Amino acid sequence: MQRDVRDLSQVRSFDALPRLLALAAGYTARLLNVTDLAGPFQLTRQTIHDYVTLLERVFLLERLPPWHSNRLSRLVKTPKLHIGDTGLACALLGMDAPDLHRNRESLGPLLETFVLQELKREASWFPAPLSFFHFRDRDGVEVDIVVERGAGALAGVEVKAAATVTDVDFRGLRKLKQSAGKRFVKGIVLYDGEISASFGEGLYAVPIRRLWEPA
């Protein structure tokens, strides 16, 4: 807390912080690009980077690091930016439930962030510590969320704001499975549907509501 207060004392443009947070709300679940975030402001990239770090320390923003089979390689990859609260994000974006229903392009990233928050909340009940990442290979094939237990096991979660799932939706999870080898336990596509179904060994489509409803 004392360090956060010291950081706040060094903020020279307080009006930029709520504007930056509102901008970040529209960038949730995207790769962090400080240059894009700095564009609307008359501030340096380093200043915007420092402001993002400050907002992260007060839990308004979160950087989701990349997963890589080589742990050292993770240090040089690009994290994803997530806003800390999707309700706050909707308020900042001026969107309500009907707006999200009409605008699927905005719903997708916000839903991904919501799922990440829910999984992290549920992970706090787990006896062993769990770490969270995202996955992206050189070809741009992605998995929204990777959950890792130590160095022994991991699972992938893809979030889809749609009522149907096809085999194509498992492309990223299959790439992750290939990269992780024996450590890969399960890959799940969470979707806005009704039925749980298997899509091959260790791969499943599961309704999003299963995150808070009993199976």
Find out whether 163 and 191 touch, Cβ atoms under 8 Å. yes
Give residue 12's pLDDT: 62
Give residue 71's pLDDT: 61
Provide the residue type at 104 as one letter.
Answer: R
Give residue 77's pLDDT: 81
Between vectors from CA 73 to CA 72 and to CA 75, what angle results, nearest 5°? 75
What is the spatial distance between Cα 92 and Cα 110, in angstroms, rounded to a whole number? 12
Give residue 143's pLDDT: 97
Structure token digits, residue 108: 């997708």
Indicate the pTM of the whole model.
0.89
Which parts of the chain sit beneath pLDDT 70? 1-14, 71-76, 215
Structure token digits, residue 189: 């596509």
Instruction: Tell how many helices (H) and how many strands (E) occur in the chain.
Output: 8, 9
Task: Phi first, then psi: give them for residue 142, nearest 5 degrees.
Answer: -125, 160
Give residue 2's pLDDT: 40
Other beta carbons less than 10 A from residue 65's beta carbon = 16
| Beta pairing partners, 13 | none
Give residue 72's pLDDT: 55
HSE-CB of 25 using CA atoms within 13 angstroms? 18
Structural domains in the chain plus CATH codes = 2-211 (1.10.10.10)
Taking CA atoms, 80 is separated from 37, 42, 127, 152, 153, in Å, by 13, 24, 26, 24, 22
Taking CA atoms, 145 is separated from 6, 8, 18, 190, in Å, by 33, 31, 27, 11
What is the spatial distance between Cα 90 and Cα 97, in angstroms, rounded to a whole number? 9
